Amino acid sequence: MFVCSPVLVFDYVALTPLITGTSAACPPGDTLEDNTPCNDGSNVCDHGVCNGSACTLYNTTECYCSREDQLCEVCCVFGGECISTFDWPEAENITVHPGYPCRDLTGYCNQDLECVYVDNNDILNDLLDNLKDLLFNLKSLTQWLKSYWYWVLASFGGLIILIILLQVTYRRKKPKKTERGPGERTDGGRPVGRRGQRGRGQSGHGRSGRGQGYQRRADEISPLIERTSQT
């Protein structure tokens, strides 16, 4: 029974090793002595927690090896240099526990003791790519506008002119519609009648002329009223 052997798991998000298990700390009294190897020898017990470095066995501190084939080996500072325990004759060959960080905390060691690179900037890079695309599209749009601005201006002006024209014709048509009943269909009859009325008035036959005028107008209007009432 190894009470001080919780599993060392690597937190991929925070890039820090975590101790998991029912209890990270060993029950009091049952704790193994400090510097007792645990985690298959890649760590040592430290106050009942298996998170001490195996390098403490050699009175030195742990470090990260930079050589590609040594990324998942336990490396310690030997003689002021970061050297793998595999290369230090006085040390045992120690590999790190799977899940242990490597490559200066930018990756983790898998079961086959390969350093799997964790691109912490993946999401950020995606975001930047999208932003770049958007900016590029905006840029091409402005470039298009720069080279074809007159088309945009012309179509805008054309649209305004069209709107004005439509409004003018609409306004002209509207009053025509209301006057249509008595006015338009008589077309000429009424103005002629008025002119004749005036002319006769001047010539002295005002009464008869006027009477004729009124009659005529009434004659003209009555069918119109009928027509309008029909519609």
Ligand X SMILES: *[C@@H]1O[C@H](CO)[C@@H](O)[C@H](O)[C@H]1NC(C)=O
Of 95, 12, 2, residue with least CA distance to 48: 2
> Judged by CB under 6 A, does residue 220 bind ligand X?
no
Segment interacting with ligand X, rule: CB under 6 A, options 43-51, 134-142, 209-217, 220-228: 43-51
- Cα 140 to Cα 169: distance, rounded to the nearest angstrom: 40
Residue 26 Cβ vs ligand X, minimum distance, rounded to whole Å: 11
Q: From the list 3, 36, 86, 116, which residue makes contact with ligand X (rule: CB under 6 A)?
A: 86
22 is a site residue for ligand X (CB under 6 A) = no
Q: Which residues pair with 77 in a beta bridge?
A: 82
Q: Which stretch binds ligand X (CB under 6 A): 36-44, 45-53, 102-110, 189-197?
A: 45-53
Question: What secondary structure does DSSP assign to 6-72, as a single string?
Answer: PEEEEETTTTEEEEESS-SSPPTTTPPPTT-EETTTTEEEETTEEEEEGGGGGTS-EE---SGGGTT
Kindly list the distances between the CA atom of residue 106 and the CA atoms of 63, 74, 122, in Å, as whole numbers in the listed order.
14, 16, 12
Residue type, 105: L
Q: Which of 20, 23, 66, 93 binds ligand X (CB under 6 A)?
A: 93
Nearest CB to ligand X, comparing residues 84 and 197: 84
Strands 49-53 and 43-46: antiparallel
Q: Which is nearer to ligand X, 51 or 110 (CB)?
A: 51
Give the one residue of 22, 33, 59, 218 binding ligand X; rule: CB under 6 A.
Answer: 59
Stretches 30-38, 44-52, 131-139, 171-179: which one binds ligand X (CB under 6 A)? 44-52
Q: At closest approach, how far in Å is the CB of 123 from ligand X?
A: 28
Q: Does 51 bind ligand X (CB under 6 A)?
A: yes
Cβ–Cβ < 8 Å for 108, 12 = yes
Under the binding rule (CB under 6 A), the answer on residue 49 touching ligand X is yes
If one asks whether residue 46 binds ligand X (CB under 6 A), the answer comes out as yes
| Contact between 64 and ligand X per CB under 6 A | no
Distance from C-alpha of 10 to C-alpha of 108, rounded to nearest angstrom: 7
Closest-CA residue to 102 (of 37, 42, 21, 19): 42
Q: Which residues bind ligand X (CB under 6 A)?
A: 46, 49, 51, 58-59, 86, 93
